[in-house]
């Protein structure tokens, strides 16, 4: 008796490249310079053909290697690509899974003195490495980038900042409207840090040594990651000696408007029209979100969708019945969509 669906279609190849970074040298957390870069090659890959290349940015708490691992239920992304290609829902692509994990629990894929030069890591180191080693369409028209949550934010920011590099982008439940997405975690951060006498370094050491960090601990770490990304400071200027500061009072949770404004400069819904106009250079921009997102991202997504419409910036927008969790199935929609746009 067989109850699980059999995968009878052709399977692609997964390469693992060991790469030692130069641009991550001197990062403030002493995070590894040598990392694994996974590259998916489609079934029937031949070197004398050029393939579109899709870059996958992982969500907070995850990384590229996590997206190619065995799964007890469902598919990892290489398996999903195998199926979509076999079903002729999309053509063959090369897919890249960078490892941008940090001691702050994740990444927003920007250059920051408080986290590291991860945008340069992607564009100045990994992209030339992939395009030298594999047969890809090595221009903007042949490149797509996608992600979920923090990875979706990273994909969207790449599209905004570098339309000369990317042809299409997909943003699944990306961080939009920081006032709703992040500020609800500030009281939790205050309460967690209070248990550590408001000593941020002490909390971080506890987090990485804990056998069972709780949900509140992860949300606190995420707040610290965002602070280091959006408002990095010189370590010697802080009491804890870390390259970050929080935009609220730890005892009262009172927001500091000046410091908060530094975060908002990185919020796509707050960006000026001239900045967002770069998105018109894309061949395609895909946005979706679950309308029960527990981080309230559906509200920011609707606001961003409305803003893009007002600016007459072409994009595809969908809402679905879901939350922020368990939404990998949405890749069945976005990946073929991206492929179609890239091949136009």
Q: Are residues 75 and 153 in the same domain?
A: yes
Residue 281 in domain:
yes
One domain, residues 310 and 166: yes
| Cα first-last separation, the chain | 45
- CA pair distance 303, 311, nearest whole angstrom: 12
Tell whether 256 and 331 lie within a shared domain.
Answer: no
Residues 69 and 142 placed together within one structural domain of the fold: yes
Predicted pLDDT of residue 239: 84
Co-location of 25 and 167 in the same domain: yes
Reading the block at residue 230, the tokens are: 């959006």
Of 264, 281, 305, the residue that ends a domain is 264
User: Considering 231, 264, 297, which residue would you say is the last residue of a domain?
Assistant: 264
Burial (CB < 10 A; 0-12, 13-18, 19+), residue 285, is buried
CA nearest to 165, candidates 115, 230, 120: 120
78 lies in the same domain as 184: no
pLDDT at position 7, please? 82
Residue 1 forms part of a structural domain: no
| Last residue of one domain, picked from the residues 246, 264, 282 | 264
- Measured CA to CA, the distance from residue 217 to residue 206 in angstroms comes to 10
- Is residue 4 in some structural domain? no
Q: Which pLDDT belongs to residue 29?
A: 98
Report the CATH number that the domain containing residue 39 is assigned in CATH.
3.40.50.1820
Residue 3 falls within a domain, yes or no? no
Flag whether 5 is in a domain. no
pLDDT at 210: 96
pTM greater than 0.75 (yes/no): yes
Same domain assignment for residues 185 and 310: no
For residue 157, CA distances in Å to 26, 35, 88, 111, 260 come to 24, 23, 30, 12, 19
* Domain, as residue range, for 49: 13-177+269-342
* Residues 82 and 157 placed together within one structural domain of the fold: yes
Same domain for 166 and 115: yes
**pLDDT by residue for the chain (344 residues), tens digit each?**
888 877 889 999 999 999 999 999 999 999 999 999 999 999 999 999 999 999 999 999 999 999 999 999 889 999 999 999 999 999 999 999 999 999 999 999 999 999 999 999 999 999 999 999 999 999 999 999 999 999 999 999 999 999 999 999 999 999 999 999 999 999 999 999 999 999 999 999 999 999 999 999 999 999 999 999 999 999 999 888 999 999 999 999 999 999 999 999 999 999 999 999 999 999 999 999 999 999 999 999 999 999 999 999 999 999 999 999 999 999 999 999 999 999 99
User: In angstroms, rounded to a whole number, what is the distance separating the alpha carbons of residues 113 and 211?
Assistant: 30
Cβ(283)–Cβ(168) below 8 Å? yes
Q: What are the structure tokens assigned to 332, written together?
A: 């069945």
Do 146 and 76 fall into the same domain? yes
In a domain, 334, yes or no: yes
CA dihedral sign of residues 302, 303, 304, 305: positive
Domain co-membership, 17 together with 101: yes
Residue 309 neighbours by CB under 8 Å, 6+ apart:
none
How many domains does the chain divide into? 2
In a domain, 7, yes or no: no
- In this structure, the strands spanning 111-112 and 116-117 are antiparallel
Query: Rounded to the nearest 5 degrees, what angle is found at the Cα of 40, between the Cα atoms of 90 and 340?
Result: 20
Query: SS3 for the chain, per residue?
Result: CCCCCCCCCCCCEEEEEEEECCCCCCCCCCCCCEEEEEEEECCCCCCCCCECEEEEECCCCCCHHHHCCCCCCCCCHHHHHHHHHHCCCCCCCEEEECCCCCCCCCCCCCEECCCEEHHHHHHHHHHHHHHHHCCECCCHHHEEEEEECHHHHHHHHHHHHCCCCCCEEEEECCCCCHHHHCHHHHHHHHHHHHCCCCCHHHHHHHHHHCCCCCHHHHHHHHHHHHHHHHCECCHHHCCCCCCECCCECCCCCCECHHHHHHHHCCCHHHCCHHHHHHHHHCCEEEEEEECCCCCCHHHHHHHHHHHHHHCCCCCEEEEECCCCCCCHHHHHHHHHHHHHHHCC
Residue 6 lies in a domain: no
- Co-location of 77 and 31 in the same domain: yes
Report CA torsion sign: 241, 246, 250, 256: positive
């Amino acid at each position: 008796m067989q109850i699980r669906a059999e995968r009878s279609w052709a399977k692609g190849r997964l390469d693992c490249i060991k790469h030692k970074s130069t641009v991550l040298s001197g990062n403030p957390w002493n995070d590894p310079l040598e990392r694994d870069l996974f590259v998916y090659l489609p079934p029937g890959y031949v070197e004398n053909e050029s393939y579109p290349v899709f870059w996958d940015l992982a969500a907070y708490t995850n990384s590229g290697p996590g997206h190619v691992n065995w799964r007890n239920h469902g598919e990892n992304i290489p398996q999903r690509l195998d199926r979509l290609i076999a079903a002729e829902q999309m053509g063959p692509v090369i897919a890249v899974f960078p490892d941008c994990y940090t001691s702050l629990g994740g990444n927003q894929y920007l250059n920051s003195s408080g986290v590291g030069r991860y945008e340069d890591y992607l564009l100045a180191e990994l992209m030339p490495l992939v395009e030298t080693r594999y047969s890809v369409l090595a221009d903007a028209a042949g490149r797509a980038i996608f992600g979920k949550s923090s990875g979706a934010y990273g994909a969207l920011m790449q599209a905004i900042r570098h339309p000369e590099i990317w042809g299409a982008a997909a943003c699944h439940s990306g961080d939009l409207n920081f006032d709703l997405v992040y500020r609800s975690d500030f009281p939790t951060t205050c309460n967690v840090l209070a248990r550590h006498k408001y000593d941020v370094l002490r909390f971080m050491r506890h987090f990485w040594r804990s056998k069972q960090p709780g949900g509140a601990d992860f949300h606190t770490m995420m707040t610290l990651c965002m602070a280091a990304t959006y408002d990095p400071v010189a370590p010697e200027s802080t009491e804890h000696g870390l390259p970050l500061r929080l935009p609220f009072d730890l005892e009262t949770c009172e927001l500091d408007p000046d410091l908060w404004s530094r975060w908002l400069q990185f919020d796509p819904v707050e960006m000026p029209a001239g900045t967002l106009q770069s998105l018109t250079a894309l061949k395609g921009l895909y946005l979706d979100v679950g309308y029960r997102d527990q981080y309230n991202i559906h509200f920011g997504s609707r606001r961003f969708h409305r803003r893009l419409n007002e600016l007459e910036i072409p994009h595809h927008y969908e809402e679905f019945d879901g939350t922020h969790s368990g939404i990998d199935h949405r890749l069945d929609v976005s990946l073929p969509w991206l492929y179609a746009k890239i091949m136009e």
